[in-house]
Amino acid sequence: MSITSKPVKGFLLDITGVMYNSDPGTIGRLIEGSVEAVNRLYAESAVRFVTNESTRSRKHLFEKLTRLGFTLKEEHIFMPVPEAKRYIKDHGILKEFEDLDTSDPNCVLLGDAELGFTYETMNAAFRVLHETNDPLIIALGCGKFYQRMDGPCMDVGGFIRALQYACDARVVITGKPDEQFFKAAVDDMGLKADEVVMIGDDIVSDVGGAQKAGIRGVQVRTGKWRQSWINHSIKPDLLVDDLRSAVDMLLKKTIN
Amino acid sequence: MSITSKPVKGFLLDITGVMYNSDPGTIGRLIEGSVEAVNRLYAESAVRFVTNESTRSRKHLFEKLTRLGFTLKEEHIFMPVPEAKRYIKDHGILKEFEDLDTSDPNCVLLGDAELGFTYETMNAAFRVLHETNDPLIIALGCGKFYQRMDGPCMDVGGFIRALQYACDARVVITGKPDEQFFKAAVDDMGLKADEVVMIGDDIVSDVGGAQKAGIRGVQVRTGKWRQSWINHSIKPDLLVDDLRSAVDMLLKKTIN
């Protein structure tokens, strides 16, 4: 589907690397023009935010974005934790211990932890999985890396692979690039997948994931963008400098 | 090949989980009968030791085994580090910095590090690989886990997968289960692969690896042995309680 084949009635936005860049020790740095771009989307279109972040609660992320200068609604932020909770509930994983007792665990939930990924914590998770007959990892996204101001940083995906290999576990991905995750945000706008674009800095999780869900994928040249992705097997529907350019181009196209 | 199809003229022994069990804070605990078994092998057959351990030097491992009560020759211990060095040299990876300057690295060598696997060290390795056009990981083995007295512990394999996934790196395995590694030890005894047995506690690295190299694989029920491996796709040529039983059975067969 070409970026111009159908009017764009709604936008899904990745947060980190698109709206701001993370920077250790600070709340992060705004990407120029992104506050105004989000304001335009609220005024002239529809917008939802889809992120795999899981270190903090949605409330915490909402407050951080507000401090950075964004005006948005907390309930428009989609994060994988609630979806993972639903999976655990739907599959009766918690049936045996409805009081949420974690003293006898039977699966491992893996999300952002960054400095929490020590040998001890990884090994504790490994031992839980190693003990079970059908080891299951529920992952909050499976990103390869993300971009911080001080350089690229390993994301949760690698650590999932580490545990998966060590104990031959099954992996269920919640969050991007899982199709259901995108669909939930599209449904919330009352739109159809082909009426929406996803704007992100990750060629696999954002652009590829959206395209698999029938959503057009826009790649920005901010955040973790790499020049070598020009030759990536995943081809974005649109490649732009940043969120502002994407919004300028696509709102114009929509109105004309 | 059946265990009885050809006389056994030489033995390859895995060390940890076969000769002794590792135990944090101590030099380890002897597995009963293993000192005598090694003595018998030196007296009545030929023996070499093949291990993926890389935390310490061969000299250090030799001294530890001596303190545990074993009588063996240091040069009979085969470890992956020298092989990895050879690979690096043969492939001209060090050509550009023959003074061994590591300030501008172009590959990552991954071995046992255990508590060294922090987020920071993993991320430092990731950044090296992420910067290169053809990222290469040279791994010292690719074990899933090993058994310590306090429980099973993640081995280097998972951490290789983590880095490999995060930066789409190529991986070269040195050490078990790499065929060349087994061959080097077999050659050193002046024997052929089908005249030798490998005795180990790891169904994949030891038994499967040996079998791929044309060596009969003996699985012991010590170390990391798991009852569920009865159904493993890899079938050992012989399953025995421990090193002592294996040596008793196989020396008898050889002499008769």
Nearest-Cα residue of chain B relative to residue A118: B118
DSSP H stretches of helix in B1-138: 34-44, 58-68, 80-90, 119-131
Does A114 contact chain B (CB < 8 Å)? yes
CA distance B206 to B15: 11
**DSSP annotation of B22:** B
Does A118 contact chain B (CB < 8 Å)? yes
Mean pLDDT on B206-234: 96
ipTM: 0.77
In this predicted structure, the answer to whether residue A115 has a pLDDT above a threshold of 90 is: no
Contact B153 A117 (CB under 8 A): no
For chain A, positions 150-179, list CB contacts with chain B under 8 A.
Answer: 151-155, 157-159, 161-168
Read off the pLDDT of residues A77-99 as tens digits, 9 standing for 90 and up.
999 887 777 777 777 665 543 44
Contact B119 A115 (CB under 8 A): yes
Give A163's contacts in chain B (Cβ within 8 Å).
154, 158
Does B28 contact chain A (CB < 8 Å)? no
Does B130 contact chain A (CB < 8 Å)? yes
When mean pLDDT is compared across A104-113, A184-193, B140-149, B217-226, the lowest value belongs to A104-113
E strand or H helix at A219, and its extent? strand A216-220
Read off the pLDDT of residues B151-183 as tens digits, 9 standing for 90 and up.
999 999 999 999 999 999 999 888 999 999 999
Give A159's contacts in chain B (Cβ within 8 Å).
162
Residue of B121, B165, B233 for testing the chain A interface, max A β-carbons within 10 Å? B165
Residue of B108, B122, B154 for testing the chain A interface, max A β-carbons within 10 Å? B154
Contact B162 A164 (CB under 8 A): no
Does B112 contact chain A (CB < 8 Å)? no
Rounded to the nearest angstrom, the minimum Cα separation between B232 and chain A is: 12
Question: Would residue B153 be called left, alpha or beta, if left means φ above 0 and alpha means ψ between -120 and 50 degrees?
Answer: beta
Q: What is the CA radius of gyration of chain A?
A: 19
Strands of the B196-200 sheet, one edge to the other: B77-78, B47-50, B10-13, B196-200, B216-220, B238-240
Interface size between A and B, measured as CB pairs under 8 A = 90
Report pLDDT for A161: 94
> How is residue A89 written in tokens?
């509930």
**DSSP annotation of A16:** B
Report pLDDT for B104: 60
Residue B96 pLDDT grade (very low, low, confident, very high; cuts 50, 70, 90): very low
Does A108 contact chain B (CB < 8 Å)? no
Contact B164 A166 (CB under 8 A): no
Read off the pLDDT of residues A51-74 as tens digits, 9 standing for 90 and up.
998 777 899 999 999 999 999 999
Rounded to the nearest angstrom, the minimum Cα separation between A232 and chain B is: 12
CA distance A37 to A177: 24
Residue of A159, A167, A226, A229 for testing the chain B interface, max B β-carbons within 10 Å? A159
Residue where the block lists tokens 């999932």: A160
Residue of B122, B204, B234 for testing the chain A interface, max A β-carbons within 10 Å? B122
In this predicted structure, the answer to whether residue B101 has a pLDDT above a threshold of 60 is: no
Rounded to the nearest angstrom, the minimum Cα separation between A133 and chain B is: 9
Please, what sign has the CA dihedral across residues B42, B46, B52, B58? positive
CA distance B77 to B83: 13
Residue A251 pLDDT grade (very low, low, confident, very high; cuts 50, 70, 90): very high
Nearest to B166 among A126, A154, A163 (CB): A154
Report pLDDT for B100: 46
What is the amino acid identity at position A230? I
Question: Would residue B18 be called left, alpha or beta, if left means φ above 0 and alpha means ψ between -120 and 50 degrees?
Answer: alpha
β-strand pairing of B216-220 with B196-200: parallel
Mean pLDDT on B101-116: 66
Nearest-Cα residue of chain A relative to residue B147: A127
Give B164's contacts in chain A (Cβ within 8 Å).
161
CA distance A107 to A132: 8
As a whole-number percent, the residues of chain B with pLDDT over 70 amount to: 89
Does B225 contact chain A (CB < 8 Å)? no
What is the amino acid identity at position A83? E
